[in-house]
């Protein structure tokens, strides 16, 4: 199974900041990676798929990069609605696996 490791587990930030979250895969997944935003009591929302493709309707302040085993999600100009938990997910092979999550909190 492919293990996905996210860091940091939490980050404190202010509106307007840039936030970077890292995800490492235990083996090469080329670019088969997605990022999700999850708020309590709501359905998760896909932000980025195939490492860097922005899902329709997602603001352009979200961006993704990487390949192989190292990936990043960057949020530029953090907005109040961006405080949430973010997960990476590998889609290279079954079982599909998620990272442990990164909580973006208000400083």
Partner 1 sequence: QVKLVESGGGVVQPGKSLRLSCAASGFMFRIYGMHWVRQAPGKGLEWVATVWSDGTNIHYVDSVKGRFTVSRDNSENTLYLQMNSLRAEDTAVYYCARDLDGGHYFDYWGRGALVTVSS
* Residue choice 23, 25, 29, 49 for contact with partner 1 (CB under 8 A): 49
> Residue 37 or 82: which CB sits closer to partner 1?
37
Instruction: Report if residue 99 touches partner 1, rule: CB under 8 A.
Output: yes
Rounded distance between C-alpha atoms, residue 8 and residue 1, angstroms: 22
> Residue 28 or 77: which CB sits closer to partner 1?
28
Rounded distance between C-alpha atoms, residue 27 and residue 43, angstroms: 29
Instruction: Report if residue 107 touches partner 1, rule: CB under 8 A.
Output: no
Query: Min. distance of Cβ 56 from partner 1 in angstroms?
Result: 9
Query: Min. distance of Cβ 70 from partner 1 in angstroms?
Result: 19
Taking a C-beta distance cutoff of 8 angstroms, is the pair 75, 19 a contact? yes
Rounded distance between C-alpha atoms, residue 54 and residue 46, angstroms: 9
Residue with tokens 């840039």: 18
**Direct distance between the N- and C-terminal alpha carbons of the chain, in angstroms, rounded to an integer:** 36
With CA atoms as reference, report the closest residue to 35 among 45, 25, 20. Answer: 45
Site string for partner 1, 62-91 (x = CB under 8 A): -------------------------x-x-x
Residues that bind partner 1 (CB under 8 A): 32, 34, 36, 38, 42-46, 49-50, 55, 87, 89, 91, 94-101
């Amino acid at each position: 199974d492919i293990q996905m490791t996210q860091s940091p587990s939490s980050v404190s930030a202010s509106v307007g900041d840039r936030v970077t979250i890292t995800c490492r895969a235990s083996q090469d997944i080329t670019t088969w990676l997605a990022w999700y935003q999850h708020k309590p009591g709501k359905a998760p929302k896909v932000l980025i798929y195939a490492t860097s493709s922005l899902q329709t309707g997602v603001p352009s302040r979200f961006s993704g990069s990487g390949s192989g085993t190292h990936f990043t999600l960057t949020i530029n100009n953090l907005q109040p609605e961006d405080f949430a938990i973010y997960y990476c997910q590998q889609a290279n092979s079954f079982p599909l696996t998620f990272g442990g999550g990164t909580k973006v909190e208000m400083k």
